Amino acid sequence: MNKKILGCLISLVLICLPACSTNKTNKEANQPKKVEITISAAASLNEALNEIKTNFQKTNQHISLLYNFGGSGALKQQIVQGAPVDIFISASKDHINELTKKGLIDYKNQKDLLSNQLVLITNKRQPAPLETFDDLENKGIKKIAIGTPATVPAGMYAKQTLESLDIWEAMNAKIIQTKDVRQVLTYVETNSVDAGIVYMTDIKVTDKVKIVAIAKEQTHDPIIYSAGIIKSSAQKKEVSLFYDYLHSATAKDIFEKYGFQVLD
């Protein structure tokens, strides 16, 4: 009797195994394929985009977001040279326009996303004797950090501001050029320079610097962050999903939390 029962149990197991295997296979087949998306973005967007990433991946677990932060000009050049990038978010609209003219971004797949302000900062604990941008000419100010104007939009805007005040030429011996705006922030935080020119949003991530002055809008080109989908992207569906998410209410709240002004 026991042998008969044992035989029946073995038969049932043998019958169930293929069915269980098939169910597992079906479940695996229904799982979305894992996809990686590479986003090259201005260094000043670091904290905001990482928070957006956390929120986005909660509901899109099959999509992995890989960020490449740096100076917008350098990132643009990487794309021109064939770097595998899906989305580019630049702190200068000009860079997006250049890639569009080169046929690397479709005009319909680019949009102005954010705006920002330019500020003069100094170390909070050991502040330099500054009250305005004009004070940068004072003899007591020896070193001023800005992003490299040719590759860092914040540096370009800084140069335009100093030129509009007719003090750029006098600043040449004092200017320390950096690879991106966050390096400027680090130099001021560590008191390696007397002052730096960064975005208003950069000071949201530190308590070691203080604002001396805000640059007037008429002293520089409009600070516009633009986003664009690179034509060569192979994951069009997933890339479009994240690109659209950048314009969502959730992303808007995060950008505003870090001090950005969201453009409609």
pLDDT tens-digit profile, the chain (264 residues): 555 555 555 555 455 555 555 554 554 455 668 999 999 999 999 999 999 999 999 999 999 999 999 999 999 999 999 999 999 999 999 999 999 999 999 989 999 999 999 999 999 999 999 999 999 999 999 999 999 999 999 999 999 999 999 999 999 899 999 999 999 999 999 999 999 999 999 999 999 999 999 999 999 999 999 999 999 999 999 999 999 999 999 999 999 999 999 997
Those residues with Cβ within 8 angstroms of residue 9's Cβ, 6 or more apart along the chain or in another chain: none
Q: Are residues 204 and 142 in the same domain?
A: yes
pTM here is 0.84
Number of folded domains in the chain?
2
Question: Is the same domain home to 164 and 243?
Answer: no
Token code pair at residue 65? 């977001």
Burial zone of 193 (CB within 10 Å; 0-12 exposed, 13-18 middle, 19+ buried)? buried
In a shared domain, residues 109 and 125: no
Q: Is residue 196 part of a domain?
A: yes
d(CA 116, CA 26): 49
Which CATH number characterizes residue 210's domain?
3.40.190.10
Q: Range of 258's domain?
A: 35-115+224-262
Sign for the pseudo-dihedral over CA of 165, 170, 172, 178: negative
Task: Tell me the one-letter amino acid at 56.
Answer: F
Query: Letter for the amino acid at 68?
Result: N
Judging by DSSP bridges, how do beta strands 35-42 and 63-70 pair with one another?
parallel
